[in-house]
Amino acid sequence: MTEIRFLFDYVSPYAFLAWKRLHRAAAREPIVLRPEPVLFAGLLNAHGQLGPAEIPAKRRYIFRDVLRTALREGIPLAPPRTHPYNPLLALRLSGLDMDPAARIRLVDRLFDRAWSEGGGVETPDDLSPVLDALGLDAPALLSAAGSTEAKERLKVATARAVEAGVFGVPTMFVGEEMYWGNDAIDHVLDAIAGRSRPLPAELLDRWEHLPASAHRR
């Protein structure tokens, strides 16, 4: 079994698409998915960049691209209730100690609720019925998700991701190798299947030390 670390935020439709594709792949390939919530806004802040939904032209385009990709992949998709929304409680909840299989079911349900069913994943009222339906202890988990420890855990996970070079979601790790974005899924599946070719070290080294001959004003 190969482990795929899956760093995500429920706010990202590309994280949703990538999750659904990997979740399906896990049903037929020797893959263990390890979902790890991180705060996308924290990644953007750390790198001083704008998110796609913060650039109006990009936001418009992305709606179309996400819908087109969902149609192609046969993934049911509907706009969420609001966007952007506050994913903090759902992320903290998803990072609590729990059985790995339960975490995968929870992440899958919350992604579906947000991006397939037009539901919200912001408030205790949004989240409680989802936990109930999964047979989980909603009051205990929601209380734990509001704790200082859960808040700190999400902060630390996000900070560690930044240190590891993560700048967006979804980000996947197969061993040490990092993959970013729904469009990197084919590379991830290549890596799992042993079809990746090694990246020539000499070329990577030249890239790394490439001088700039122009800068944007």
Nearer to a second copy, 105 or 187 (CB): 187
Site string for a second copy, 42-61 (x = CB under 8 A): --xx-xxxxx--xx-xx-xx
Length of the chain: 217
CB of 68 to a second copy, least distance (A): 6
Q: 33: part of which helix (H) or strand (E)?
A: strand 31-37
Residue 51 structure tokens = 């998110």
Q: What angle do CA 143, 147, 153 make, to 5 degrees?
A: 125
Are 168 and 180 within 8 A, CB to CB?
Answer: yes
Burial class (CB in 10 A: 0-12, 13-18, 19+), 188: buried
**24 belongs to the binding site for a second copy (CB under 8 A):** no
CB of 84 to a second copy, least distance (A): 5
Residue range at the interface with a second copy (CB under 8 A); choices 22-30, 139-147, 148-156, 186-194: 186-194
Are 36 and 164 within 8 A, CB to CB?
Answer: no
Q: 172: part of which helix (H) or strand (E)?
A: strand 171-174
**203 belongs to the binding site for a second copy (CB under 8 A):** yes
Q: Which residues bind a second copy (CB under 8 A)?
A: 41, 44-45, 47-51, 54-55, 57-58, 60-61, 63-65, 67-69, 71-72, 77-87, 120, 122, 162, 165-168, 177-181, 183-184, 186-187, 190, 196-197, 199-200, 203-204, 206-208, 210-217
